[in-house]
Structure 1
Amino acid sequence: MSDLGTALRAWRGSISPARVGLPVGGDRRVPGLRREELALLAGISFDYLVQLEQGRAAKPSPQVLGALARVLELNPVDRDVLYRLAGVVAPTTGSMPRTVPPGVQRMIDRMSDTPVAVFTAAWDAVQWNPLWGELFGTPGTPRLNLVRGHFAAENPLGASRVERDAAHTNAFERMMVSDLRRAADRYPDDRAVGELIAGLRETNPRFAQLWRRYETVPLGRSRKTVVHAELGPITLDCDILTIERADLHIVLNWAETDTRDAEKLSLLRERVANDVD
């Protein structure tokens, strides 16, 4: 059996018949949809689905893959995996997600003692918690973008308060431009993403230079110093979590324990707690 066949069987086994409007009764030896049920719902023949799962079929058409993805309720990440395993280029997926799913929101809400902000795949600010606002300053303009804020010297979520040395600045810029290119490749029909890139290429030589490199840089940990108006410099480690299903970035900032930076962050936590009370 091919990797495509293994994936199809796994996805087929995760979909309950009731979920797609089929009767649940009868003798079912395995959970999920039967082959004939998936074939019927996707509008393809049973024999062709068997060939796909056994690795005996040639490249399926994008229409067949699209129908399978719809019936199997694949999220954007699994959808891309389906097309890749089939050796077919996935069609464009429309606009970039900008909504925080409830499960992700619950996770973020439990991180109240950490400065946390949520960004889209193209680094539009979606939301931030009170501690982030206390640390970086709450912006007065909605839909600010972290990449534009850095390269266009705007102030999205306190970017002007951040200081980095030359090495960290270079690493940050390369990482941001590389990740923005991934968003552009993933959402070629999103007008806002295209306008962001076109504007920065036209107005910022450094961005234009990095964009021409076609460089692939993974998202990773970074370090920065935030200059707070009252507490002065606070040096923090920054981690980025990528939520694949929602295609969002969650940015978290930490101070090393038993340091003056940790003490300053604790003072900000107390201030936020008092404001809530």
Structure 2
Amino acid sequence: MANTALGTALRHWRDRVSPQAAGLPAGSRRRAAGLRREELAQLAGISADYVIRLEQGRATSPSAQVVEALARALRLTRDERTHLFRLAGLAPPGPGTVPRHIPPGVHRMLDRLDGTPVAVFDAAWNQLLVNSLYTALMGEGHDLNGVRRNFLSPNTRVRDTPESRDALQAALVADLRRTAGHYPDDPELRALIADLRRHSPRFAELWESGAVGQHESARKTIDHPDVGPLTLDCDVLTVAGSDLRLMVYSAEPGTDAADRLALLGVIGTQSLVGEQPR
């Protein structure tokens, strides 16, 4: 049976999001102010054909991951996100699962910080949203979980010492253990921890130590292929009431790093080399 209610809701929400608000160029010869289906597909990380089939009611059982991605791309409120899950025939995530909803205020904050590299992670360090300068700084990648990247495929742009790597890994594991205590019913979180314990002896060792904490800040040097080395402060801020993490990179004013970061903002994402973010 065609799910026309889901398709109607998606079209309505798509029509009210401007491309500028979603960080996309407006282009020309647009018949409507809202997002095109291709643009929604790009933001949600799914195919345009699948968006069409959802809107036409020919795709009736989207996964929870697809629904979550659509909710983020459409900048839905918490109540609208819950409604979207129910239209898709899914139970909204419960209180024992890691929150992945991005409030509209966080979207607006990223819109206003276009000169600062910013990424949004959930409490399990799954990357949910980044701005273009963060992508230009850190590169694009396929594994969007920050803990797994650090243990299994670290970013070659970040200049590490053995001491700084050990400290970062210990902080991330302690933070993940804290998250596991807060969200004991999240199956994706349990699978992530099991996968890391199986494939990383270092993670397993740190996990067995039982440390609990919160990863908050660091100072990193990023060797960028186009603008050279940038030594930046990396601060992790928690969004009250949602447990989202905002990772913000900033340079001390008047330094070479500040000049290079400004240059990177001009270059944009034209020179991405396909490395993984961190």
TM-score range, shorter chain: 0.5 to 0.7
Correspondent of 2:134 among 129, 132, 135: 132
Correspondent of 2:218 among 203, 222, 247: 222
Structure 2 SS opposite 1:122: coil
Alignment of 1:1-277 (within 5 A): 93-139=95-141, 141=142, 144-153=144-153, 159-272=155-268
Q: Is the 8 A contact 2:221 2:231 kept in 1?
A: yes
Give TM-score scaled by structure 1 length: 0.60
Deviation at 1:134, TM superposition (A): 0.8
Bigger radius of gyration: 1
Task: Return the alpha-carbon distance in structure 2 between the equivalents of residues 160 and 199 of structure 1.
Answer: 22
Task: Return the alpha-carbon distance in structure 1 between the equivalents of residues 232 and 268 of structure 2.
Answer: 18
Task: Return the alpha-carbon distance in structure 1 between the equivalents of residues 177 and 270 of structure 2.
Answer: 42
> Which ranges in structure 1 are unaligned for 5 or more consecutive residues?
1-74, 76-91
**What's the Cα RMSD here?**
2.2
Task: Return the alpha-carbon distance in structure 2 between the equivalents of residues 177 and 274 of structure 1.
Answer: 34
Give TM-score scaled by structure 2 length: 0.60
Q: Is the 8 A contact 1:94 1:188 kept in 2?
A: yes
Structure 2 SS opposite 1:181: helix
Which amino acid is 1:135 matched to?
L
Deviation at 1:274, TM superposition (A): 9.9
Deviation at 1:212, TM superposition (A): 1.0
Q: Which string of whole-angstrom CA distances, capped at 9 and with x for unpartnered residues, describes residues 215-270 of structure 1?
A: 13333220111111122221111000001312100000011222211111010112
Q: Which string of whole-angstrom CA distances, capped at 9 and with x for unpartnered residues, describes residues 73-109 of structure 1?
A: xx9xxxxxxxxxxxxxxxx833211121011211222
Task: Return the alpha-carbon distance in structure 2 between the equivalents of residues 205 and 123 of structure 1.
Answer: 20
Q: Is the 8 A contact 1:174 1:217 kept in 2?
A: no
CA gap of 1:231–1:273, structure 2 versus 1, over 3 A, is closer
Which amino acid is 1:113 matched to?
G
- Which position in structure 1 is the counterpart of 2:72? none
Which amino acid is 2:125 matched to?
W
Query: Percentage identity across aligned positions?
Result: 42
